[in-house]
Structure 1
Amino acid sequence: MQLKERLKVIYDMIPPCNILSDIGTDHALLPAYALINGKCKKAIASDVKKGPLKSAENTVRQFNLEEKMDLRLGDGLEPISEEEADTIVIAGMGGQLISEILQKSINKAKKANSIIIQPMTRQKVLRVYLWQHGFEILDEALAKEEDKLYQVLKVRYTGMVRKDWKPVNEIVGEKLAEKKDPLLPEWIEREIKKQEKIVAGIKAAKNPDAQLLKSVQNLLKDLKDLLDTL
């Protein structure tokens, strides 16, 4: 059994655990791989839709995991009870939705030893939510699959609320910069292009917003400075 690069990076960030809960499961491939390789003792694969769970049933049967994996229908963290899973994975969703899932079941999220998060969009929204609600970012990595780049974060609730950060930290995680992730230069280069387009758009407007222009230009400078250190 092989995982594609995105799921492999998520898998690599999962610590050894008793029960792994995969929220919004993708054919249950990730929890199946974790069980087969002994990273967790039991797993729960859940989804809000019946279709993915049907696919998950096939995976469970294919690898004879009926005694080790539970399949559950439900929204977000609702299918699991407090302290049932010591490691939770929430991957393949937008950053806004992930934030809402955590907030809706905040007590369950607080009890997990680690939560592995992989947002598809709105990473900045997710980071700010984590900082403002007492979640510490323990580790980060980038994954590249079919020319797309993905951020993967390992977080844990500590109750320590972060109040200060630079806008560049919302785009480029500090852990990524510290460890000089091999994909980070490409990630930053893509972000620089996005911000350059925004600058051009502001300048082309009839009444350019001077304050917005300055903030984006400052962000652009910080991104370029960070790229120079890699």
Structure 2
Amino acid sequence: MNPVLDARLEAVLELVQAQVHADIGSDHAHLPIRILRAGRASRCIAVELNPGPLAHSRRSAVRSGLGERLEVREGNGFDPLHAGEVDSASMTGMGTGTIVGVLQRAGDKLPAALVLQPNDSPRSIRQWACASGYHLMAERLMPGYWAYPVLRLERALGNDPAYVGVPLRAALRYGPHLLREQSPLLRQHIQEDLLRLTPLAAPGRNAYGELATAQEALAWLDDRRAEQNRQ
């Protein structure tokens, strides 16, 4: 059994490298199975709260033939784990607010590395990381029903160097590494935000600030492109 992953989960897989990894909200446990088969962890713990997905995870674990290398635990967020038990964890397919809430409740169970794939703007995750001693080590933006961000965070001291040299407001919204990479998908994502926000923006409304952020991000990308063309 070697489950097929979509583009966003393949990106998560590529950003995992650990001895013991936990997949929080694992659903069918397809991601941890692939992590183990790809040699990106020696052992995985799949955590699931809801009865249906929990049953799916347990069936997948048995069928995988991975034995004690893959364990399924019932529980909410990091609750079923022990402090220091895992050195890496992933959360995928959740809203940013849900992910940040799980991280805030994890306490000393938080591992040194996190790979996160939210289903909406990851700004709150980036803000949490900056305030919680995690640096943004890598980012991906993957095509799908919409543009899916994937982030790898690692515990580190001091200010995150990823944000040096990029406009902070735009970097928190769209990602400092992604802005530097200037991918066509990011540019398309920003342009779609501009189209969506322009008719909604008025002083005092949330869309007004969001539109200004999108304009700042696109202007920064245009400046970088012009600078490269001059070289």
TM-score range, shorter chain: 0.7 to 0.9
Q: For residues 81 and 207 of structure 2, what CA distance do their matches in structure 1 show?
A: 43
Equivalent positions of 1:1-20 (< 5 A) are: 1=2, 2-15=4-17, 17-20=18-21
Letter of the aligned partner of 2:154 in structure 1?
R
1:62-77 equivalence runs, <5 A: 62-77=63-78
Q: Residue 117 of structure 1: CA displacement? A: 0.8
Pair 1:149-2:147 in alignment = yes
Which of residues 209, 213, 224 is equivalent to 2:218? 224
Structure 1 ranges of 4+ moved more than 6 A:
162-165
Cα distance change of structure 1 residues 75 and 5 upon mapping to structure 2, 3 Å threshold:
same
Question: 1:118·1:151 contact (CA, 8 Å) conserved in 2?
Answer: yes
The correspondence of residues 67-106 of structure 1 with structure 2, limited to 5 A, is 67-106=68-107
Q: Residues 71 and 210 from structure 1, CA distance in 2 versus in 1: closer, same or farther, beyond 3 angstroms?
A: closer
Name 1:53's counterpart in structure 2: 54
- Aligned match of 1:176: 178
Task: Label 1:216 to 1:63 Cα distance change in 2 as closer, same or farther (>3 A).
Answer: closer
Q: CA deviation at 1:132?
A: 2.0
For the 8 Å contact 2:200–2:207, the answer to whether it is kept is no
Distance (whole Å) between structure 1 residues aligned to residue 215 and residue 184 of structure 2: 21
Q: Supply the distance in 2 between the matched residues of 1:170 and 1:102 (Cα, whole angstroms).
A: 18
Scaled by the length of structure 2, what TM-score is found?
0.84
Equivalent residues in 2 for 1:128-147, closer than 5 Å: 128-145=127-144, 147=145
The equivalent of 1:205 in structure 2 is none
Contact residue 121 and residue 173 of structure 2 kept, 8 A? no
**Structure 1 residue 192 displacement after superposition:** 2.0
Equivalent residues of 1:90, 1:116 under 8 A apart: yes
Q: How many residues align?
A: 218
Contact 1:141 / 1:181 at 8 angstroms: preserved in 2? no
Residue number in structure 2 paired with 1:126 = 125
RMSD: 2.5
**Match of 2:92, SS?**
strand
Deviates more, 1:160-169 or 1:22-31: 160-169
Query: How far 1:212 sits from its partner (Å)?
Result: 8.0
> Residue 94 of structure 1: CA displacement?
1.2
Q: d(CA) in 2 for partners of 1:193 and 1:32?
A: 40
Match of 1:160 in 2: 158
The answer on whether the counterparts of 1:27 and 1:59 sit within 8 Å (CA) in structure 2 is yes
Q: Equivalent pairs: percent with the same residue?
A: 23
Contact 1:192–1:224 (CA<8 Å) still a contact in 2? Answer: no
TM-score scaled by length of structure 1: 0.85
How many Å apart are 1:58 and its aligned residue? 2.0
SS of equivalent to 2:20: strand
Runs (5+) with no aligned partner, structure 1: 203-207
CA contact (8 A) 1:5 1:143 kept: yes
Q: Give distance in 1, aligned partners of 2:83 and 2:183.
A: 34
Deviation, structure 1 residue 7: 0.8
Q: CA deviation at 1:198?
A: 2.8
SS in 1 for 2:142: strand
| Mapped contact 2:194–2:215 kept (Cα < 8 A) | no
- Whether the 8 Å CA contact 1:142–1:184 is kept in 2: the answer is yes
